[in-house]
Amino acid sequence: MKNDSELNQLLKTWQDSPPADPHFRHSVWTRISIEDGGRVRQFLRACQDWCMVSLPRPAYALVLLVFFASSGATIATITTQKVHQEQQAEMEQRYVASIDPVAMAGKAANLRP
């Protein structure tokens, strides 16, 4: 009886503290990345299917063509804006030089005005 009570007392106070699994964190992240990878793969697969099946349909194809054409036009507008600005500055300079005798002298005789 005495032994039993001692044993009970010991069992009450006894605590098990096993060492932490050193791979626990790694294994959790591995499981998460597998889950995520699966979702990404599913999404990519859906995109691929849409591109192969739906995109070549006339309505979508037309939207794509219009989008590319207008993108080209927008890029051309931006590019030529810069050309316009440069031409504007050049014309300004040419006009002022045409009424500036010092600039004219420099141009005519290759002087440094």
Of 20 and 99, nearer to another protein (C-beta) is 99
Of 40 and 102, nearer to another protein (C-beta) is 102
- Residue in the structure block whose two tokens are 């939207």: 63
93's tokens: 């300079």
- Binding map of another protein across residues 41-70, x = CB under 8 A, - = no contact: ----------xx--xx----x--xxxxxxx
Closest CA to 93 of 82, 107, 108: 107
- Give the binding range for another protein (CB under 8 A) out of 2-10, 22-30, 35-43, 77-85: 77-85
The secondary structure of 49-72 as a DSSP string is HIIIIITTSHHHHHHHHHHHHHHH
Dist CA 93 CA 14 (whole Å)? 94
Distant-in-sequence, close-in-space partners of 54: CB < 8 Å, separation ≥ 6 = 60
Name which position in 1, 10, 59, 83 contacts another protein (CB under 8 A): 83
Of 33 and 93, nearer to another protein (C-beta) is 93
- Give the binding range for another protein (CB under 8 A) out of 11-19, 30-38, 39-47, 91-99: 91-99
Dist CA 85 CA 50 (whole Å)? 44
Q: Which residues bind another protein (CB under 8 A)?
A: 51-52, 55-56, 61, 64-73, 75-77, 79-80, 83-84, 87-88, 91-96, 98-102, 104-105, 108-109, 111, 113
